[in-house]
Amino acid sequence: MPEAIEPAPAGTAPRTVLRLAGITKRFGGLTANDAVSLELRGGEILALLGENGAGKTTLMSILFGHYVADAGSIEAFGRRLPAGSPRAAIAAGIGMVHQHFTLGENLSVLDNIVLGTEPLWAPVQNRAKARKKVAELAEHFGLAVDPRRLVRDLSVGERQRIEILKALYRGARILVLDEPTAVLAPKEVEALFATLKAMVAEGLSVIFISHKLNEVMAVADRVAVLRQGKLVAELPIAEADRHSLAQAMVGRPVTPPARDALAPGEVVMQMAGVSVHGAEGRPLLDELHLLLYGREILGIAGVSGNGQGALAALLSGQRLPDDGYFELLGETVAKTSPAAMQRRGVGRVPEDRHALGVIGDLPVEENLILEASGDPRFCRFGLLRGGAIRRHARALIERFDIRGADPTTRTRALSGGNMQKVILARVLSAGPRVILANQPTRGLDVGAAAKVQEFLYAARAAGAGIVLLSEDLEELLQVCDRIAVLYRGRLSPPVPAEEADLATLGLLMSGQGAFEDDRRRPGHAA
Amino acid sequence: MRLEPRAHIPLWLSLAAPVAAVALAFACCALLIVWAGAPVVAAYEALLRGAFGSVFAVTETLTRAAPLIFTGLAAAVAFRAKLWNIGAEGQLYAGALAATWIGTGMVTLPPLLMVPLLFLAGALAGGLLLLVPAILKLKLRVDEVVTTLLLNFIVILFVNYLVFGPWKDPLSMGWPQAAPIIEEGILDPLVPRMRLHAGFLWAVGLAVFTWAFIRFSRWGFQIRAVGHNPEAAAFAGLPVGATVLRTALLSGGLAGMAGVCEVAGAKGYLTLDISPGFGYTGIAVAMLAGLHPLGVVAAAIFVAAIYNGADAMSRAMSISNYLADVLTATALLLVLASVLFVRFRPRLR
């Protein structure tokens, strides 16, 4: 509660507000947390860093009472926290913002915040008081959001603010955020960090779960690194550097995969004056001019929602351009469908792995043949060839380093990085000549992202032209041959990656800079 | 008590859980029997004897199970593809109509061909009937729950018209029934002097076929893929629309065969009471079986045994045979609840 916020006593050593001691948690044969001991002090941001599957989320779920530890104890503000009770955790002043939000889409912001804090049978609800309290909290921590709006109309960033408000409304003094930046645009990340800093200035404490080094360096006071369930490092951020943290996370020196210099091949994809109109007639893509060569990776930078969806839909075979000329491998694209794109030799890595990339309830081996179930290698007389499918899966699991999977594992059980490897294995094993990779490393840890890049390099070396859509500029600069920026449906002229720099691209991403057309290209029609 | 997700699900558990649930259902319903003023043990003994206590009881149970296997399979296949077919009852009558139309003298073939022809006709009729809602769902996004359910009434009222009108058998002494299926089309009895007929074998055979089809065929793979995640299936280039239509043909076809099974087997002619709600009970059978085609056989026999046994029990103990409905419903609820304990490990703290 806001009135309960007391500033950190100046000049005294910050006291420990949360103590995790010897937390161990096993799932079957897997040890998710192995005797982890951790302390959180008042008024600090502690980053919990680790690869996917390192046990960060498990640890926080134990703290919040979703799981019960097999061993160990938790103390909050000097009092022992009963295990397995989220209610007790909330009462002890712990608030949790999950990676996947837990909001009722059909309810208003205020309803979502108040939900669960009022007795169900109260004849009258004191909404005015609640609204006032929410407004105060929002004002105080820079979490502006209109309490009357419905959650389904809000952006991801706004929803996150509601989650934080929800925790604060319940009197949280310790806020746990699980991968809070995974879904945010750069500007929203800045705003979130400002809020977090305002909160710790008030004496609250924050645990910030992340696998992104630069964010941890930017916002945390201390960092704790988890690897394979064990706490492997814990140090003040002032004593940390990116390189050693990365190494602690992965457990071995991290070297980005080597990218060979290759001469670009022939044009494999061409768009000239391509436009796509949205539902309200607003252009999603506005007169796009683009050439893609074989043996190159063309990066498309930009904040999501600036036309990436429409561009991906064109290359995925989900729609045709409304205007303009679209050519793939020397053939005009007049009719389209996902299957037709596969036949043309286009490999498609969708943005949303869970929703479009894999069928989570099917085993890995069947996801690996999802796009090739009619291939005579896997299907004869309408019957699936189980043996061949199993061997195919074993080979790809080996070749693409898909961890924790055997052919019959349900795909849902894999981590995000390994799920992405399943998709890449399926797409790349078909030998595509044009590849759409839509945010392929989003949400992946360093090790898995490096693997994904390595696979893309291999496809590039094999002659494929790759369109890489990403919001991560540093990654684009490292991986791509050429980079263009998409802003409100307009594409900036691609520049070679060596000539591009973060500042210029950043400006282009926010709409400042040259978006003149790239019309000096051959093969115009329209 | 807490629930924790299990990393691995042992096979014995997934088989034992429904058995335990059924046992618990019997325990719950014992209270009702006590309430009705009958001795529990004797009542359940009468039920068991009525279901399995003699050759007659066993064959009657299996005779009743046969159409339930068909309609259970119909629901299982459709639900796997997330096609909510509530119209198995109508498809059953459509199948019975087709068998009657062809099998009462229009075509005469030797039995070896006549019986398969009747099943084929019934399957086509049922399949085509479900194709209509499936197309409406695909093209116009019409909710198939509503359309399949309402089609039931249309088909049944049409049968009503036929057996009271143009198809009424002049030799039926005025009863509303169609002419009998010709000798060549009748499903052979399996046990002398009992009603159990070859339709039961057809049902079991089709259960095995359906299981193998879903598990091993490419189209079956597509049904599973579309059922689990239609968006991802479409993105991967799978023919989502065609898969829904194929599912409709298969599901409706299986339900149509239930009608053939009754007209050419248990009854011998079309009447208005060939199905005491087999189409709807099939949904419960499919859910009891966890949508597994082989499980459907066991679930159908179980449900049929309960209904037959309850009839015997009600005669012996003068308890209402509505107890069969209560037992089935309780068992269904408990089996669905038991799924929770298969997927999660309960722990006392």
pLDDT tens digits for range B69-85: 999 999 999 999 999 99
d(CA A334, CA A341): 12
At A94, the pLDDT band (50, 70, 90 cuts) reads very high
B276 phi, psi to nearest 5 deg: -85, 55
> What is residue B7's predicted lDDT score, i.e. its pLDDT?
59
DSSP letters for A152-207: GGS-HHHHHHHHHHHHHHTT-SEEEEESTTTT--HHHHHHHHHHHHHHHHTT-EEE
Name every chain B residue with its beta carbon within 8 A of the beta carbon of A29: 7
Please indicate if any CB of chain B lies within 8 Å of the CB of A67: yes
| pLDDT tens column, A119-148 | 777 677 678 888 888 888 888 888 888 888
CB A171 within 8 A of CB A1: yes
| pLDDT tens column, A7-39 | 444 445 568 899 999 999 987 667 889 999 999
- pLDDT greater than 90 at residue A520: no
Minimal CA separation from B332 to chain A, in Å = 24
Percent of chain A whose predicted confidence (pLDDT) is above 90 = 38
> What is residue A473's predicted lDDT score, i.e. its pLDDT?
81
A159 phi, psi to nearest 5 deg: -65, -40
Residue B113: which residues within 8 A CB-CB, separation 6 or more?
none
| pLDDT tens column, A439-497 | 998 877 777 888 899 999 999 999 999 999 987 788 888 899 999 999 888 899 999 98
> What is residue B90's predicted lDDT score, i.e. its pLDDT?
97
Query: Poorest-confidence range of A401-410, B79-88, B294-303?
Result: A401-410
| pLDDT tens column, B183-197 | 899 999 999 889 999
Name every chain B residue with its beta carbon within 8 A of the beta carbon of A373: 218, 221-222, 238
> What is residue B136's predicted lDDT score, i.e. its pLDDT?
96
> What is residue A397's predicted lDDT score, i.e. its pLDDT?
93
| pLDDT tens column, B323-340 | 888 988 898 899 888 888
> What is residue A249's predicted lDDT score, i.e. its pLDDT?
84
> What is residue B5's predicted lDDT score, i.e. its pLDDT?
66
d(CA A81, CA B288): 42
Tell me whether residue B140 is exposed, middle or buried, using C-beta atoms within 10 angstroms of its C-beta: 0 to 12, 13 to 18, 19 or more. Answer: exposed
d(CA A158, CA B130): 45
- The total of other beta-carbon atoms located within 10 Å of residue A248's CB is 20
| pLDDT tens column, A167-199 | 999 989 999 998 888 777 677 788 899 999 999
pTM, entire model: 0.78
Mutation target for A interface from B1, B9, B218, B222: give the one with most A CBs within 10 A.
B218
Residue A255: which residues within 8 A CB-CB, separation 6 or more?
none
Query: Tokens at residue A51, please?
Result: 């690869």
DSSP letters for A7-76: PPPTTSPPPEEEEEEEEEEEETTEEEEEEEEEEEETT-EEEEE--TTSSHHHHHHHHTTSS--SEEEEEE
| pLDDT tens column, A258-289 | 777 888 889 999 999 999 988 777 788 988 99
Residue in B2, B216, B235 nearest the CB of A356: B235
Q: How much is the ipTM here?
A: 0.84
- pLDDT greater than 60 at residue B60: yes
> What is residue A258's predicted lDDT score, i.e. its pLDDT?
76
Q: What is the mean pLDDT of chain A?
A: 85
Interface of B with A (CB under 8 A): 2, 4-8, 216-219, 221-222, 224-225, 228-229, 231-239, 347, 349
> What is residue B165's predicted lDDT score, i.e. its pLDDT?
86
- Rounded to the nearest 10°, the torsion over CA B181, B184, B188, B194 is 50
- pLDDT greater than 90 at residue B147: yes
At B113, the pLDDT band (50, 70, 90 cuts) reads very high
Minimal CA separation from B80 to chain A, in Å = 12
Across A331-341, average pLDDT: 91
Helix (H), strand (E) at residue A283 = strand A283-293
Across A420-432, average pLDDT: 94
- pLDDT greater than 60 at residue A519: no
User: What residue has token string 């960060």?
Assistant: A56
> What is residue A436's predicted lDDT score, i.e. its pLDDT?
95
User: Count of CB contacts below 8 A, A vs B?
Assistant: 77
Nearest to A291, CA basis, from A491, A459, A521, A499: A521
- pLDDT greater than 50 at residue A322: yes
At A303, the pLDDT band (50, 70, 90 cuts) reads confident
Q: Name the more confident of A52 and A393.
A: A393
d(CA A248, CA A258): 22
d(CA B245, CA B260): 22
Across A219-247, average pLDDT: 89
Name every chain B residue with its beta carbon within 8 A of the beta carbon of A342: 237
Q: What is the mean pLDDT of chain B?
A: 91
- pLDDT greater than 80 at residue B9: no
Q: Pick the residue from chain B with its C-alpha nearest to A362.
A: B225
> What is residue B8's predicted lDDT score, i.e. its pLDDT?
65
> What is residue A514's predicted lDDT score, i.e. its pLDDT?
58
- pLDDT greater than 80 at residue B347: no
CB A225 within 8 A of CB A50: yes
